């Protein structure tokens, strides 16, 4: 990529690139996102033979719950307790088929 191409690329996306200046809540980089995905990337080979699509969906659900708990400062037994309470309340409200 030439410098001209790089400049044209940046100018076409200037609004998106400068959005973090207008909203202080936005990060200038995606380090947090990359760090959160690291656990999934590290275990990718283990999940290659997860068994079935349903098994993959369950693994994705467990990862989602675990990472959300971690982001909210819940670890270990506190995270499991919070997840089980939410799971119980969500399944009790689920429509029957």
Which of 28, 26, 37 is CA-nearest to residue 71?
Answer: 37
> For residue range 56-77, what is the model confidence (pLDDT) as tens digits?
788 878 888 777 888 888 777 7
pTM, two decimals, is 0.45
Q: How far is CA 85 from the centre of its chain?
A: 22
> For residue range 79-91, what is the model confidence (pLDDT) as tens digits?
777 777 777 666 5
């Amino acid at each position: 990529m030439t410098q001209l191409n790089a400049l044209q690329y940046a100018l076409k996306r200037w609004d998106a690139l400068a959005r973090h200046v207008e909203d202080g809540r936005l990060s200038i980089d995606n380090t947090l996102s990359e760090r959160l995905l690291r656990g999934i990337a590290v275990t990718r080979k283990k999940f290659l033979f997860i068994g079935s699509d349903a098994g993959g969906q369950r693994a994705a659900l467990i990862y989602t719950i675990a990472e959300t708990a971690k982001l909210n400062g819940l670890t270990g037994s506190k995270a499991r307790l919070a997840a089980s309470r939410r799971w119980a309340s969500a399944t009790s409200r689920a429509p029957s088929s």
